[in-house]
A and B are shown apart, each in its own frame.
Chain A
Amino acid sequence: MMELSLTVNGRACTVHVDPAATLVEVLRDELGLTGTKIGCDRGACSACTVWLDGEVVASCMTFALDARGKQITTIEGLAKGEQLHPVQQAFVENDAMQCGFCTPGMVMSCAHLVERNPDCTLDDVRGAISGHLCRCGAYPNIFKATLAAAAAMRQRKNGGGA
């Protein structure tokens, strides 16, 4: 066991964990942040997607040790209080989920896409979530939602300048 300091959703925290612990294990079992899911535990379904310094990673394939000194953002840290991220809002309005288990990972990847590229196309969305699995088959609505969120972000940007 070792002591480990991490910054999660802007907050510093210290945990005592096995050096082999993955980031998702620490998030879920030590910090109680159960929004991040494990679907396969081998980097194949992306249900465990979080941001590390703003880039998407599979937290089941990342040692917690390797997240030291980096900003970790989980699904719990995406909304500002009760104010949903535009992608979260668009997922709600476009019913981009069914059972919802893959949803946190999907939202993290789609939010990453629209933040980086508000001009994204349908092909970009397909690419951004091509490593994710949704067994319920919400893909058509995930496409719609992400493109709607991108449009909302573009509008916000343009509106902000006007």
Chain B
Amino acid sequence: MSDRTVLTGIVGETFQPITRNVPAEEPPELPPNAELRVIGKPVNRVDAVPKVMGKARYTYDVQLPGMLYARIVSSTVPHARIKSIDTSAAEAYPGVKAVHILDRVLSIAQLRDPGAEANESYPLVRYNGQPIAAVAAVTARAAKAAAKLVRIEYERFPHVTGLEEAMRDDAPVVFSGPTEQAATAGGGGAPPGLPQKGNLRGPARGGLGGGGRGDVQQGFAQADHVLTREYRTQVQTHTPMETHGLVADWRDEELTLYASTQFTLSVRDEAAEVFKLPKEKIRVISEFTGGGFGAKFGIGNYGVLAIHLSRKARAPVRLVLDRREEHVSVGNRPSSLQRVKLGAKRDGTITALQVESFGTGGVAAGAGVGFAHTAMYPIPNLAVEHYDVFTDAGPCAAFRAPGQVQGIFALEQALDELAHELKMDPLALREKIDTNDTDDSRARKVERRVGAERAGWSKHRPPATDSGPIKRGMGVAQSQWAYVVHGTTTCEVRIRGDGSVIALNGAQDIGTGTRTVMAQTVAEELGLRVEDIDARIGDSRYPAGAASGGSRVTSSITPAARNAAYLAARDLAGRVAQSLGAKPDEIVFQDGRIFVRGRPERGMTFVEAVRKANFDEIVHRADRREDYDGYRIKLGDLHISRHGIGGVQFAEVAVDTETGVVKVERIVAVHDCGRPINPKLIESQIYGGVLQGVSFALYEERQLDPGTGVQLNANIDQYKIVGARETPAIEVHVIEQLGRQSSTDARGVAEPANVATAAAIANAFYNATGKRIRTLPMNPANVLAALRADEGQP
């Protein structure tokens, strides 16, 4: 370790020298992007061509010789004991090769007492659509036909699907005793050991899911204004275009899994655990993943079934969910009912914040409302209590900024309400209270100013200015997410004897551009172009990679890639320096050439240098070292900085007060992500985050039939998602913040991009109409109800 003096700050704003204790092996600090050749440039996605040509091979597309097609048998009742399962007709169906019945259900809460249901022959059914068994056959049609022949006899129990119904004392109980919910690599999970009464599990107070400090009663006593409000958000399903799926190929020597996943190693590790296999005997391949948004971790019940079927049939088995199964059984963003009490002085100083939240993630826990209350503003007196409410519905999973989207919808609208009560500009209120000593707070200060200029905030009008039936308005909300690093991340860089360069990491790409950012980083260090780097990912045999969850791939992989490329460059420099009459540390790599610093004519091309050095291959591996200042929390490989990432978003809406139809016309999104590695891909991520936020705010809502627990809109035509016609004008601005915590300073952006959108739209709705909308989605029913409500009433 050695102390280095580095400049930290936001490019174009103020920079200040600080001292960082940096491991001696770390490469020197990178200058701002303007001085770099590849990093920070909007280069094309390196795998765009196979994607536009239909050559990109997703798990969905894997076809192996002798491969069987599998189909799941799901429950048709919401709550029951299975008395018997008769698979004989399915097994006798032509073309069927194997049938398997699940003996445990993954991804849902587990009873704390492992013996509580030990006498049951089969896992209890706790929601309509719960996977029970699967059939593998030579064609997909045969598997589907045979699956219908599986006969299941149920003993029905009373069920409950609504949040508030499930909270009643006399509600049917989903779990007979207290439960625990393991976290996934992408988040989710619930704190262990909490009390559970009926369907209510909680309160959760500590950790990332909530927290407290000071004395809220005293804080409210000091307040001039106290505001009490109730906010509700709905259940949203992930709906990735590629449904969850796995192709399992069980061989005695090795199990190969082709997985549509957000983390190859989570697939390997869970398969190893369930099937009691050594990890070395499992290989996971994920060339392309068709979206995930938080729900694609581990093997899931479908994966367990595919592997069992492959083992039984002695053939590769493809099990890919259909669209209904995808909506129902593999994850959703839980609902929330949030009671917010906010106390403030006349000048806007917040004296206390109290939040009580309830949310249902169906048969899974993890419906908390994020950590913004604790982490975004230095509120002196704070109490957050969260309860999970179990219902007979499919399990929740981490979903792009889990909890934070719901929490910020309430918090940022409550602050807007407070600003109006205090007759303060909502941005001025944020300016007063957003004062933490963190990089994200410093970034938001700049983002508020830049965003206000671009959005034309100074021209925004008083609430309900328009006199006609269509009312327009503008609103603002702030975003925050954690700056996350994946602990175990290693990259390998190989320079081949012919001058070609390969970069390896086992991570996957769910659409963010993993290959591209890795290639850019290596190219920068070696003075090459992106297309000179063969970036290979998506194989558990490559050096350990990062999870695509928590916005951590770029922050984790690029420093490891740079460190490995740096070692490779120094190695090569050492081999050719003498022939250039220079010392190795005088050799620089730039524009495809290797030359003596300050003397570009004393050099040669990269390929010539490799040939001159005359080797078969140089191989260097390097790790993503810990942030120079360390972390606030380490939960396994999930390392969380005390600094966050975030942004500020401005929304313009038009509300038709006669029909209740809301249109979002424009979003200005200003974000930070440390050092932007590729502005083009970052812009894409922010578009996606904003659009998912618009979709959550306006359209999406899972509808369950209370009588049967059946999801009524488990398809794409009735589960409305924002489309081309509803896409607003979106203007993205990204600031360059050099935090000097790693060798690339890169941080994530995917999650913060979708955190603030719904709150900004809700605040714009108020500015347009003079009425608050505290219930999502803003569909005509909720909008007309909000327009009819007396102000101040929830």
A contact set with B: CB distance below 8 Å: 18, 20, 25, 28-29, 32-42, 44-45, 47, 74-76, 78-79, 84, 88, 91-93, 95, 97-104, 107, 125-127, 129-130, 132-143
Contact = CB atoms under 8 A, between A and B. Distances in A.
B48 interface: yes
B510 interface: yes
A101 B54 contact: no
A135 B683 contact: no
Q: Which 5 A-B pairs have the closest CB atoms?
A: A35-B54, A101-B290, A99-B511, A137-B691, A75-B54
B677 to A, nearest CB: 14
A135 B239 contact: yes
B53 A32 contact: no
Given A101-B242, A126-B727, A136-B684, 14 more contacts: A37-B241, A75-B53, A84-B49, A95-B48, A99-B240, A99-B510, A99-B511, A100-B511, A129-B724, A130-B723, A133-B716, A135-B240, A135-B291, A136-B511
Interface string B128-146: 0000000000011100000
7 contacts: A32-B63, A39-B241, A39-B716, A92-B45, A133-B721, A136-B688, A141-B687
Nearest to A141: B684
B446 interface: no
A45 B511 CA distance: 18
B54 A104 contact: yes
A121 B510 CA distance: 31
Interface residues of B, number: 54
Contact of B291 (A42, A101, A132): A101
B724 A36 contact: no
B733 interface: no
A129 B724 CA distance: 6
Contacts of B715: 40, 42, 44
B58 A101 contact: yes
A138 B187 CA distance: 25
Interface of B: 44-45, 47-49, 51-58, 60-61, 63, 139-141, 239-242, 288-291, 293, 322-323, 510-512, 680-681, 683-685, 687-692, 715-717, 721-725, 727, 730
Contacts of B47: 100
B684 A130 contact: no
A99 B681 contact: no
A140 B716 contact: no
B122 to A, nearest CB: 29
A74 B54 contact: yes
A46 B45 CA distance: 24
Contacts of B690: 137
Given A102-B241, A137-B691, A140-B687, A92 B716 contact: no
A130 B688 CA distance: 17
B263 to A, nearest CB: 15
B323 A88 contact: no
Nearest to A104: B54
Contacts of A92: 44-45, 48-49, 52
A82 to B, nearest CB: 9
Contacts of A135: 239-241, 291, 293, 692, 721
B57 A34 contact: yes
Contact of A138 (B140, B240, B687): B687
B516 to A, nearest CB: 10
Nearest to B681: A95
Contact of B688 (A76, A138, A142): A138
Contact of B241 (A28, A47, A143): A47
B54 A139 contact: no
A152 B44 CA distance: 18
Given A136-B511, A137-B687, A99 B724 contact: no
B323 A139 contact: no
Nearest to A79: B53
Given A34-B63, A98-B684, A134-B241, A103 B723 contact: no
Contact of A41 (B63, B241, B323, B687): B323
Contact of B52 (A36, A91, A127, A140): A91
A32 B322 CA distance: 20
A37 B689 CA distance: 24
Contacts of B725: 126-127, 130
A84 B724 CA distance: 24
Nearest to A128: B724
Contacts of A139: 687, 691, 723-724, 727
Q: Which of A88, A136, A143 has the most CB of B within 10 A?
A: A136
A160 B240 CA distance: 42
Contacts of A143: 724, 727
Contacts of A91: 48, 52
B592 to A, nearest CB: 22
Most chain B CB atoms below 10 A, which of A45, A91, A99, A140: A99
